[in-house]
Every structure is written in structure tokens, then in C-alpha cells.
Amino acid sequence: MKHQEADCLFCRIVRGEIPAKVIYRNEHVVAFRDITPVAPKHVLIIPVRHISSLSELQPEDEAIAGQILLATGAVAEILGIKASGYRFVFNSGADAMQSVFHIHGHLIGGQQMGWPPFP
């Protein structure tokens, strides 16, 4: 598949080589349940195309960036939290504790959250 990396965990989920609880997909993005949820609802939305982090997004990726954001409403509706609210978080780099280097937004909800998000 074009624009994929052989050994990237999330590229492998896109290709169906590693099982995941996929709840939504279209030609641009895939959304699946986080394996270690931090809230009652926790889904990762990733681009089909491999891009390692927000910092690597290029001007030509504008449409993909938009598709990731556009998917949040559809995913929130599937999760039943569109009306109650949710948070969409990207971890980028070491301080944010990014651990998988294929862009992913964490869509989390299903409970009241606080702000700021750190103690």
C-alpha cells in the first residue's frame, strides 16, 4: 500500500495485520478503540497515510489533517457522546509522551473531565 511503513504498528492496524476494534473508517482515516483506555470512551483516529507526528505534517497534508478532524463528529456519534461532549488530544514528542509514531488523535469522553488536564 502506498504511503505506508512496513513495521509501523498503526500502519499494520490499517492493513489489518494486527487486530483492532475498528469502529469507523473511510478512505482517509481509521478509528479504533485504544487498547488501554483512559476514560469510558477512548478511540484513536489515525490517517491511513503514515505521518509520524504533528510536527511532520506538510502543507500537502492539509486535506488529511482536515479529514482527521472531520472524523471526530462521526466517531463521537457512534460512541454516543456527541451531545455530552468529548476531548480530542494529540501527543507530539517526548514531553507529551508520544509513544506511537504515526499521528493519532485520542478521542476521549463518557465522563466529566477537568481542565487543565494535568495535576
Which one of residues 97, 115, 117, 119 is an interface residue with ligand AMP (CB under 6 A)?
A: 97
CA distance 16 to 40: 25
- From the list 42, 50, 102, 104, the catalytic residue is 104
Contact 32, 23 (CB under 8 A): yes
Is 28 part of the annotated catalytic residue set?
A: no
Cβ neighbours of 25 (radius 10 Å): 15
End-to-end CA distance of the chain: 42
- 41 is a contact residue toward ligand AMP (CB under 6 A): no
Element holding 55 (H helix, E strand): none
**Between 4 and 91, whose beta carbon lies closer to ligand AMP?**
91
Region binding ligand AMP by CB under 6 A among candidate stretches 22-30, 65-73, 95-103, 111-119: 95-103
The residues of the shown chain that bind ligand AMP, judged by CB under 6 A, are 9, 18, 20, 34-36, 44, 91, 97-100
Active site residues: 104
